[in-house]
Structure 1
Amino acid sequence: MESSVLVIAIFVLGIIAFVVGRSRSVAISQNVGGIRFLNSLPFYYGALTALWCAIPSFLVFAVWSLFDDAIIRSAIIATLPAEAAESVGGNLNLLFNQIYNVSVDAAGSESAPDYMVAAAQHLHSMQSISRWALTGLVLACALGTSIVVWSRINPQLKARYQVERVFRSFLFLCSSLAILTTIGIVVSVLFESIRFFAMVSPIDFLFGLEWSPQMAIRADQEGSSGSFGAIPLFTGTLLIALIALIIAVPCGLMTAIFLSEYASSRIRDIIKPMLEVLAGIPTVVYGFFAALTVAPFIRDMGLSIGLDQWLPISSESALAAGLVMGVMIIPFVSSLSDDVINAVPQSLRDGALGLGSTRSEVIKQVVIPAALPGIVGGVLLAASRAIGETMIVVMAAGLAANLTLNPLDSVTTVTVQIVTLLVGDQEFDSPKTLAAFALGLMLFLVTLSLNYFALHIVKKYREQYD
């Protein structure tokens, strides 16, 4: 039986087990005076039977699937003659792949050696036996555990407690999975970053002014050491993010204030969905717009007023990328700010108005300070979105790692360089490839610092206005 069919069979058996367990509890309740004399509702007896039917079966299925391929592979390799490994230079993975291809495509067996055809037939046989054995074991486990729980159903069985304990354990596993995933990401990035810093000095990386990670193939070629000064990348990232936030934060915040405090319900129902459409536009579309419209317009405007006499003007600029990115992240600020402003209790507004404050004074001195924690969260989300954006920067700002504060010049960002470094055939023992992990670690630390700052602001003003 195929794996997908087997999973569906487990679900069907679980549903049947639920119905059978619930029916048995109802039947037992009739002998003791009714459902109210049961320790739990019939639903929980059915749910307990279904859980004991499905969970052990899924565990058996998962463990079998985890080790099945490795065991079959080892068994097939062990039956091969010595010359089989020599024919592929000792690469057992390549040898097993060839055997697997022969087993899948029987037409290619004519040109294959006899030992490979025999191994392919053996592999096909073992896979078939494995599937049927797994099917029998899973179905036997599902039926066996269901029968055991079904036989234990009685009025004193604490079915609700056991079901809730299972769901608590499941929720704990889900939360632990999120934590373990975060820890795994940090450890993997940190481990590869340590390998990079063993080859390149952290001082040169953090304070170097030149970024040229190209590595030569041979050590006797010029430029084989590369330059890994990340200051140009940090500067470009902060410059574009700053331009984007200068556009997004005032526009988003003022839009949220208008929609929540001044606009009628009809205008709000029209404007807010139109703003949120901006969040659904793919970033590559923004990139096309920035590269084909905004960047040429900025260049032509700068040339027409003579800015090229004082500043270099590039066809790809940080200003173009920042402007378009700012428009893209306006919904992140406006939607979240609008929600938190609407969440401010009306009693605060009424009290301030009763003391003689004008509507604008109420907004500036009462509503905005009370909603500041949520507004900071929206701005932080927008900043993270701006720092992590890649496509717009590639298409509108370029790939040149220029150390400049001129918004009309081409720059690049950390995320763009991470993508660039991981594209190609470089090995993972090369400083060029490992530099991507070091950049990722720096980006993680910056984001962590922003989160800490935001939590500090939220805690301070939440205590003040609670």
Structure 2
Amino acid sequence: MGLVWLVILSCALAAYIICRHKALLQARQMGGIRFLHSLPSYYGWHAAMLSLIPPILLLLIWYGFEGVVIRSLVLDSLPVSFLDAFASQNTQSLLVSQIANVSRGLTTSSDPIINQAAHYYRTLSAHSTTLLQTITIIMAVLGLISGWFLVRPKIKARHYVEKVMQAFLWVCSLVAIITTIGILLSVLFEAIRFFHLIPVSDFLFGTQWSPQIAIRADQQGASGAFGAIPLFSGTLMITVIAMCIAAPIGLLSAIYLSEYATERVRNIAKPLLEILAGVPTVVYGYFAALTAAPLIRQLATSLGIDSASSESALAAGMVMGMMIIPFVSSLSDDVIRAVPKDLRDAALALGATPSEAITKVVLPAALPGIVGGLLLAVSRAIGETMIVVMAAGLSANLTANPLDSVTTITVQIVTLLVGDQEFDNPKTLAAFALGLTLFVVTLLLNFIALHIVRKYREQYD
């Protein structure tokens, strides 16, 4: 199929170049481009779309139905007496998979019926590929020819091109919406199955988290406890610690870079600060586990605090705060610099000092963007996993002491879904309940941020 794609793209490129050149020639003959309905480039794009879009649509439809058609033809070719042993849909799917593997040479079979069906499968696939290649190439060439004949001054090429682009943008938006709905529904359905097994009240208000289920009926002490309060408190604690570090440092560094620093200092400091955003999270995890956590424990011991754990929420939160500083700083810097200079000049002209102009005028005007940056940082902190695993541990402890070991929702989701799991027990389904809870919390944060943005934007629009 690589040759087919090469031919299609070549026809589209040739259609653009040839038809654009033809439109230019017609414009010269009539006395200028103003006599054409559209610019010459639109005629080129119009012809390129005629050469490109129909073959692509055909390929998508063909690939969508090719497997179903071939499967049906192969099953119809099998003897009825042989097919009776595969009455159910699942066994027929396994049979077709075996035939397909034999036809590709991945496996072998001693059954002559399966070998004959594999030969027929291989023949159908070859004919399908040949037919598809032929039709797509013909459609691409016909598109080029059609585009050539449609290069006329009265043809509204710009309208056609813009309609196609609008349709393409609409499809992209629809894909994003459908993807979001699909993610929500996939999590929601599995979470509902979990709540059929575990009451919602026990999940939301329980204080014990131990998702171990007995494998046999005679096992004891493995009935499972699914109270998510320790996970909520651990997530909240680490996020608050991270934001207490990232928010002031990131915001103050953004104010310095945008309002006080010279261009030379800014051009050096900002890229160095943004390098932190490109460091892999596992590196931060190593730093938290090997440096920050032991240092915090030694400091606590020197102060007479013997209960400090080697894995603590404070270590994970501090390192996570360092990780998300660039998100707050970079976004806040861009938002602050986007505030119109007239507001600063007006404040200074009225006698305000530079610091007063920043705190009374610039920051309130940039508040919606700053809130957006902080919310992005909160989302990054809530969704971080590696640092928590390496620095805070996996223990679901309900505690308010930042020196204790805690865990978060995302860490438990990963833990519950590791390995070969079946989606028929509360232990596995609990991951979807946690994901749904995380989704709802994030949605509420977005609503709060939207309210703040609208409230202050009305004052400075």
Q: Quote the residue 2:214 is aligned against.
A: 216
Q: Quote the residue 1:358 is aligned against.
A: 353
Q: Quote the residue 2:256 is aligned against.
A: 258
* Superposition RMSD in Å: 2.2
Contact 2:50 2:146 in 1 (8 A): no
1:453 aligns with 2:451: no
The alpha carbon displacement at 1:184 in A equals: 1.6
The alpha carbon displacement at 1:180 in A equals: 1.7
**Distance across 2 between alignment mates of 1:249 and 1:93:** 55
The alpha carbon displacement at 1:394 in A equals: 0.7
- Partner AA of 1:378 in structure 2: G
Contact 1:88 1:95 in 2 (8 A): no
The alpha carbon displacement at 1:243 in A equals: 0.3
The correspondence of residues 163-182 of structure 1 with structure 2, limited to 5 A, is 163-182=161-180
Distance 1:197 1:347, change over 3 A: same
Q: Quote the residue 1:68 is aligned against.
A: 66
1:324 aligns with 2:322: no
Return the match for 1:249 from 247, 268, 282.
Answer: 247
1:285 aligns with 2:283: yes
The alpha carbon displacement at 1:148 in A equals: 3.7
**Distance across 2 between alignment mates of 1:176 and 1:9:** 30
Distance 1:274 1:96, change over 3 A: same
Deviations 1:270-299 (A, max 9, x none): 211111000000000000110111111111
Unpaired segments ≥5 residues, structure 2: none
Return the match for 1:203 from 197, 201, 204.
Answer: 201
1:314 aligns with 2:309: yes
Q: Quote the residue 1:91 is aligned against.
A: 91
Contact 2:37 2:157 in 1 (8 A): yes
* Range with greater deviation from structure 2 (249-258 or 365-374): 365-374
Q: Quote the residue 1:77 is aligned against.
A: 75
4+ residue runs over 6 A deviation: 87-90
Q: Quote the residue 2:368 is aligned against.
A: 373
Return the match for 1:112 from 105, 110, 125.
Answer: 110
Deviations 1:426-465 (A, max 9, x none): 2112221111111111111111111111111111111122
The alpha carbon displacement at 1:329 in A equals: 0.4
**Distance across 1 between alignment mates of 2:145 and 2:356:** 71
The alpha carbon displacement at 1:115 in A equals: 2.4
The alpha carbon displacement at 1:37 in A equals: 2.5
The alpha carbon displacement at 1:151 in A equals: 3.1
**Distance across 2 between alignment mates of 1:357 and 1:22:** 59
**Distance across 2 between alignment mates of 1:146 and 1:359:** 63
Q: Quote the residue 1:428 is aligned against.
A: 423
The alpha carbon displacement at 1:13 in A equals: 1.3
1:133 aligns with 2:128: no
Q: Quote the residue 2:266 is aligned against.
A: 268
Contact 1:21 1:45 in 2 (8 A): yes
Q: Quote the residue 1:194 is aligned against.
A: 192
1:103 aligns with 2:96: no
**Distance across 2 between alignment mates of 1:172 and 1:354:** 48
* Range with greater deviation from structure 2 (377-386 or 111-120): 111-120
Contact 1:85 1:95 in 2 (8 A): no
Distance 1:258 1:28, change over 3 A: closer
- Partner AA of 1:105 in structure 2: G
1:124 aligns with 2:122: yes
**Distance across 1 between alignment mates of 2:28 and 2:329:** 60
Count of paired positions:
459
Distance 1:31 1:257, change over 3 A: closer
- Partner AA of 1:104 in structure 2: R
**Distance across 2 between alignment mates of 1:291 and 1:83:** 62
Classify the secondary structure of the residue corresponding to 1:172: helix
**Distance across 2 between alignment mates of 1:76 and 1:223:** 53
- Partner AA of 1:103 in structure 2: S
- Partner AA of 1:451 in structure 2: N
Contact 1:316 1:410 in 2 (8 A): yes
- TM-score, normalisation: structure 1: 0.92
- Partner AA of 2:453 in structure 1: V
Distance 1:6 1:225, change over 3 A: farther
The alpha carbon displacement at 1:85 in A equals: 7.8
**Distance across 2 between alignment mates of 1:72 and 1:205:** 48
Contact 1:321 1:392 in 2 (8 A): yes
- Partner AA of 2:372 in structure 1: G
Classify the secondary structure of the residue corresponding to 2:404: coil
Contact 2:15 2:147 in 1 (8 A): no
Unpaired segments ≥5 residues, structure 1: none
**Distance across 2 between alignment mates of 1:314 and 1:405:** 13
Q: Quote the residue 2:338 is aligned against.
A: 343
Return the match for 2:458 from 453, 457, 463.
Answer: 463
Deviations 1:332-376 (A, max 9, x none): 111111112222222322232233322322222222222211111
The alpha carbon displacement at 1:225 in A equals: 3.8
**Distance across 2 between alignment mates of 1:38 and 1:456:** 49
Classify the secondary structure of the residue corresponding to 1:402: coil
The alpha carbon displacement at 1:73 in A equals: 2.5
Q: Quote the residue 1:442 is aligned against.
A: 437
Identity %: 58
The alpha carbon displacement at 1:88 in A equals: 12
Q: Quote the residue 1:18 is aligned against.
A: 16
Distance 1:339 1:29, change over 3 A: closer
Deviations 1:170-223 (A, max 9, x none): 111111211221122112212221121111111111111111111222344324
- TM-score, normalisation: structure 2: 0.93
Classify the secondary structure of the residue corresponding to 1:91: helix
- Partner AA of 1:186 in structure 2: L
The alpha carbon displacement at 1:149 in A equals: 4.3
Classify the secondary structure of the residue corresponding to 1:411: coil
- Partner AA of 1:71 in structure 2: V
